[in-house]
Structure 1
Amino acid sequence: MDFNSLQEKLKAAGQEHLLQFWEDLSEEERNNLANNISAVDLDAVNSYFQRTQVTKSSGETIDDAINPLEPDVCGSVIRTSNEDMEAYRNIVPYLISYLNCDVITTVGLEKIANGEVAVVLLAGGQGTRLGVDYPKGMYDVNLPSKKCLYQLQGERLGRIAEVAAQKYNKRSHIPWYIMTSEATKEKTRDYFARKNYFGLSEENVIFFEQNTLPCMSFDGKIIMDGKDKLSKAPDGNGGLYKALGGSKCWMT
């Protein structure tokens, strides 16, 4: 896309400031900036911002109307009589019987054996707040086994698939869809490969990447991360469906 086309597109969206350094850029940098801009649906981004502003305004109104619950309607073990606690304990077995956990377990195992179950893991988060520079799923949470979160989940998936296979005499597996971010994708893939996918088949561990959206200022302007690059951030857990559909990985 040439400069005039870019300028026209950005002006219509109120984002023409993204070209403010155009004259300072090399040909390669101009191409990079043009590609950055072309990859963004400006109308959609502006719409998201406007909806956020409306939601923020509504939220402030709602916040004014919210008050803490009165103490007399809040349950507390400390304030509950022995008679009421005993009544509660008697209800629990009834609930378990009502839910019929054995039936639920049987149905679940049958679905797994028939290949009707998959698991999605949101793994785009870095462990920066935990003091590490790698994905949170690789973090040692100080269990006696020293297993990380990825390993715990992977081994559980493998085990429940084995239980389903034994019960229904079928070879079963559970596809594991793992949504990474730009910051975690390489380290996560490498880690799984080094750990032999925790005993799972490589073809049943499917990685796909979370989408990003431009970062915006409080006045609705897209922020730049350099003269030839837009600042972007992951689009949140709500972007799962778009990322999963766009990757087409679920069709494999």
Structure 2
Amino acid sequence: MAHLLKEQQHLVNFWDELSNDEKSQLENQIKKVDFTQARKWFEDSAHLQTSSPENLTPIPKERIFSTDKLSKTEMHEYWEAGLDAISRGEVAALVLAGGQASRLGSAEPKGTIPLGLNVSFGDSLLGIQAAKIALLQAAAGERNHENNGKIHWLVMTSPGTEKATHSHVQKLAKHHGFNFEDQVTIFSQDEIPAYDENGDFLLATKHSLVASPNGNGGVYSALAPFLPKLKAKGIKYFHVYCVDNILCKVADPHFIGFAALNNADVATKCVAKQKGELVGSVCLDSGKPRVVEYSELGAELADQKTADGSYLFGAGSIANHFFSMEFMERICSSGSISLPYHRAHKKIAYIDPKSGEQIKPTQPNGYKLELFIFDVFEYARNFFIWQVERSEEFSPLKNAESAGKDCLSTCKNDLAALNSKWLQHAGATIEENGKHFYLNTLISYDGENLQELRGKSINQDLIDSDKIIAKHFVHNTDSIYD
């Protein structure tokens, strides 16, 4: 342990108490840390420059495309272009799945926990996403018999979620007939040790450091080794999304087709911000696109409205992005671009380096550093916003039920509401108010394929008695008021 910096010697205070296996674990973890670099990250993050309000301007209108303002002809053109790309095997769906469901009361990866919905095989967020990929592939294959539609599924995990996620995704792939070795790539982002408020590392146990994934911006360095293989497979477009959004349109043909036809190298999905909402705003900072937090925007700009009553800085980021292969190659190239680490002040349990007792603080006592995926926006050469309806595309699972927001019950409600909207557009009516009627994910991606339900009055008896109707639905009718 001679290479330890003087201020980090506390990490080996209990060395003589450790077993050989524990000594090996601690030594291997410490050897992976560049202490000089880690100290620089900590110091740099303390002086990270934020945006000045006077430098911030909205994204120009000609760079914003709202799905509710586009014609059916335009949307059809984008859909066809997206499916064409899928049929040629040019699309990769990259899910950011490194987080655990600790806030949900589970030790499992968030993407694998049971939802109690059964709208897809696996009954999980990843299960829903796998079904959507399978549905799109079938649609692309049907329209182009020369090419079987294929989406390459990239799954970014973290050291703490990799094993369980790998096992779960492998089962999903087998069920849907994906060639796991050829079509699915599972890789892990790096972890970074946590710091106390003086910049020293913390012990999680006597033989391990407190460490956590290095943020969603860690995707670029983690993906870099796989880019040559993906390019050789013909991948041209990446759809990057977070695992926790139950309404996410994975490998969205509208989004992919729009970006491809407009030669975008970067595009991001947004929703119209609501009053008091703390999601970041996509805007220009000194003429370059980036996402700014409410604190950087300031109350005056955050509340400023346009003539139509919408917020001037109202493009709310939902962590859902398009990147071209050319852009990914440029960003992921070793040493080409260095993203800054951002600080998150957290309550971090740790081992007291003197007593060896575990301390569980009641107030924030340290920092975790994170890279942000959107910090690359400023390097885009042709950037667009694709603005979508919140009710159709954004319902994240982040909190326990006690929060009453962004939790499992709100996700269920939002999914049921979207399915209800699709049914009504298809010409069906829902007879039993207050019931959840969930559609089988493999039936419809965006409200299509529901023509057999036209003119039907949907109720539980009909679903139970009519096989043609029943195939569309999941037999789960929780009350919307539960």
Aligned to 2:71: 97
Distance (Å, rounded) in 2 between the aligned partners of 1:202 and 1:238: 26
- CA positional deviation for 1:124: 1.6
Distance (Å, rounded) in 2 between the aligned partners of 1:144 and 1:22: 49
Q: Tell me if 1:251 matches 2:248.
A: no
- Give the partner amino acid of 1:191: H
Aligned to 1:215: 194
8 Å contact 1:197–1:205 — kept in the other structure?
no
Change (3 A) 1:132 1:224: closer
Q: Tell me if 1:116 matches 2:90.
A: yes
- CA positional deviation for 1:219: 0.6
- CA positional deviation for 1:226: 3.2
SS of residue paired to 2:70: helix
- Give the partner amino acid of 2:8: Q
Distance (Å, rounded) in 2 between the aligned partners of 1:121 and 1:150: 9
Aligned to 1:148: 124
- CA positional deviation for 1:52: 1.6
Q: Which structure is higher in helix share?
A: 1
Aligned to 1:18: 11
8 Å contact 2:139–2:149 — kept in the other structure?
no
8 Å contact 2:26–2:207 — kept in the other structure?
yes
Aligned to 1:172: 149
State which structure, 1 or 2, has the greater radius of gyration over its C-alpha atoms.
1
- CA positional deviation for 1:115: 1.4
- CA positional deviation for 1:198: 3.8
Distance (Å, rounded) in 2 between the aligned partners of 1:143 and 1:26: 45
Residue correspondences, number:
214
- Give the partner amino acid of 1:251: K
Q: Tell me if 1:158 matches 2:131.
A: no
8 Å contact 1:125–1:184 — kept in the other structure?
yes
- CA positional deviation for 1:214: 0.9
Aligned to 1:81: none
8 Å contact 1:179–1:207 — kept in the other structure?
yes
Distance (Å, rounded) in 2 between the aligned partners of 1:93 and 1:229: 49
- Give the partner amino acid of 1:132: S
- CA positional deviation for 1:171: 1.6
Distance (Å, rounded) in 1 between the aligned partners of 2:67 and 2:10: 64
Distance (Å, rounded) in 2 between the aligned partners of 1:167 and 1:101: 17
Q: Tell me if 1:49 matches 2:42.
A: yes
TM-score, length-normalised on structure 1? 0.72
Aligned-residue identity in percent: 29
Distance (Å, rounded) in 2 between the aligned partners of 1:93 and 1:19: 57
- CA positional deviation for 1:127: 1.9
SS of residue paired to 1:178: strand
Unaligned segments of structure 2, at least 5 residues: 55-65, 231-482
Q: 2:162 aligns with which of 185, 195, 202?
A: 185
8 Å contact 1:154–1:197 — kept in the other structure?
no
Aligned to 1:84: none
Unaligned segments of structure 1, at least 5 residues: 67-91
Aligned to 1:131: 105
Distance (Å, rounded) in 2 between the aligned partners of 1:139 and 1:94: 33
RMSD (Å), alpha carbons: 3.1
8 Å contact 1:215–1:233 — kept in the other structure?
yes
Change (3 A) 1:176 1:94: closer
Distance (Å, rounded) in 1 between the aligned partners of 2:67 and 2:16: 74
SS of residue paired to 1:45: helix
Distance (Å, rounded) in 1 between the aligned partners of 2:205 and 2:106: 26
SS of residue paired to 1:143: coil
SS of residue paired to 1:118: strand
Q: Deviations over 1:13-55 (max 9, x none)?
A: x434434445555665544433222211223211221122113
Distance (Å, rounded) in 2 between the aligned partners of 1:130 and 1:26: 34
